[in-house]
Amino acid sequence: MCGIIGYTGNENAVPYLLKGLGSLEYRGYDSCGISVFQKGKIKTLKCSGRIQTLSEKLCKNNLSSETGIGHTRWATHGKPNSRNAHPHESQSGLFSVVHNGIIENHASLKEKLVKDGFVFKSETDTEVIAQLLEQNYSGSALSSLSKTVSQLEGSFSLGIICREEEGKIFCVRKQSPLVAAKAESGSFVASDITALLPFSKDIFFFNDDELAVIEKEKISFFDLSGNEIKKTAETIDFSASHQEKEGHEFFMHKEIMQQPHVIKETINAYFKNGRISFENINLNKNELQKTSRIYLVACGSAYHVALSGKYLIEEMAKIPCEADIASEFRYRNPPLNTNTLVIIISQSGETADSLAALRLAKNQGAKTLSVVNVPLSTIAQESDSVIFTHAGPEIAVATTKAYSCQLAVIYLLAAYISSCLFLLSEEEEKDYVSKLSSLDEKIKQALETEPLAKKLSEILGKSKNIFFIGRNTDYPVAMEGSLKLKEISYLQSEAYGAGELKHGTISLIEKGSVVIALCCRKSVFKKMLSNIREVKARGAFVVALVSENQKELAEGADFIISLPETENRFSPSIEIIPLQLLGYHTAKIKGCDIDKPRNLAKSVTVE
Ligand code: M6R
Q: Give the domain CATH number at 137.
A: 3.60.20.10
Residues 134 and 262 placed together within one structural domain of the fold: no
Of the residues 410, 437, 464, which one is the last residue of a structural domain?
A: 437
Note whether 126 and 76 are within 8 A (CB): no
Does some domain include residue 442? no
Where does the pLDDT of residue 239 fall: very low under 50, low under 70, confident under 90, or very high at 90 and above?
Answer: low
Spatial separation of the C-alpha atoms in residues 377 and 203, rounded to whole Å: 12
pLDDT for position 222:
97
Mean pLDDT on 393-420: 95
Residues 165 and 89 placed together within one structural domain of the fold: yes
Residues 459 and 496 placed together within one structural domain of the fold: yes
Note whether 11 and 186 are within 8 A (CB): yes
Residues 168 and 273 placed together within one structural domain of the fold: no
Residues 247 and 231 placed together within one structural domain of the fold: no
pLDDT reading at 81 higher than 70: yes
Ligand 1 pocket member 299 (CB < 6 A): yes
pLDDT for position 18:
95
Ligand 1 pocket member 211 (CB < 6 A): no
Does some domain include residue 443? no
What region, left, alpha or beta, does residue 17 occupy, with left being phi > 0 and alpha being psi -120 to 50 degrees?
Answer: alpha
Residues 211 and 350 placed together within one structural domain of the fold: no
pLDDT for position 238:
65
pLDDT for position 242:
66
The three-class DSSP label of residue 179 is strand
Q: Which of 296, 347, 406 to mutate to test the pocket of ligand 1 (most atoms within 8 A of CB)?
A: 347
Interval between CA 349 and ligand 1 midpoint (Å): 10
Spatial separation of the C-alpha atoms in residues 383 and 374, rounded to whole Å: 13
Spatial separation of the C-alpha atoms in residues 42 and 213, rounded to whole Å: 18
Of the residues 391, 417, 437, which one is the last residue of a structural domain?
A: 437
Note whether 402 and 345 are within 8 A (CB): no
Run of H or E residues at 529: helix 525-536
Of the residues 209, 238, 267, which one is the last residue of a structural domain?
A: 238
Mean pLDDT on 36-41: 94
Residues 517 and 420 placed together within one structural domain of the fold: no
Ligand 1 pocket member 481 (CB < 6 A): no
Interval between CA 601 and ligand 1 midpoint (Å): 9
What number does the ligand 1 atom closest to the CA of 379 have? 4
Residues 99 and 60 placed together within one structural domain of the fold: yes
Q: Which of 399, 403, 595, 607 to mutate to test the pocket of ligand 1 (most atoms within 8 A of CB)?
A: 399
Interval between CA 302 and ligand 1 midpoint (Å): 6
Kindly list the catalytic residues: 2, 602
pLDDT for position 504:
85
Mean pLDDT on 586-602: 89
CB within 8 A of 560, min separation 6: which ones?
A: 543, 544, 546, 551, 554
Does some domain include residue 91? yes
Q: In 368-447, which residue ranges form alpha helices assigned H by DSSP?
A: 378-382, 401-420, 426-437, 439-447
Ligand 1 pocket member 301 (CB < 6 A): yes
pLDDT for position 464:
80
What number does the ligand 1 atom closest to the CA of 398 have? 16
Ligand 1 pocket member 177 (CB < 6 A): no
pLDDT reading at 519 higher than 80: yes
pLDDT reading at 62 higher than 70: yes
Residues 145 and 259 placed together within one structural domain of the fold: no
pLDDT for position 370:
97
Listed range (3-17, 99-113, 477-491, 544-558) with the worst mean pLDDT: 544-558
Residues 466 and 531 placed together within one structural domain of the fold: yes
Note whether 577 and 479 are within 8 A (CB): no
DSSP, res 570: G
Does some domain include residue 65? yes
Neighbours of 541 (CB within 10 A): 20
Number of domains within the chain: 3
Angle of helix 474-489 versus helix 571-589 axis, rounded to 10 = 20
Where does the pLDDT of residue 379 fall: very low under 50, low under 70, confident under 90, or very high at 90 and above?
Answer: very high
Does some domain include residue 171? yes
Ligand 1 pocket member 397 (CB < 6 A): yes
pLDDT reading at 579 higher than 90: yes
Note whether 531 and 501 are within 8 A (CB): yes
Residues 403 and 544 placed together within one structural domain of the fold: no
Interval between CA 127 and ligand 1 midpoint (Å): 29
Note whether 142 and 213 are within 8 A (CB): yes
Mean pLDDT on 453-477: 92
pLDDT reading at 237 higher than 80: no
In the chain, the N- to C-terminal Cα span, in Å, equals 10
CATH of the domain at 486: 3.40.50.10490
Ligand 1 pocket member 94 (CB < 6 A): no
503 lies in which domain range?
A: 448-607
Residues 8 and 126 placed together within one structural domain of the fold: yes
**Amino acid (1-letter code) at residue 468:** F
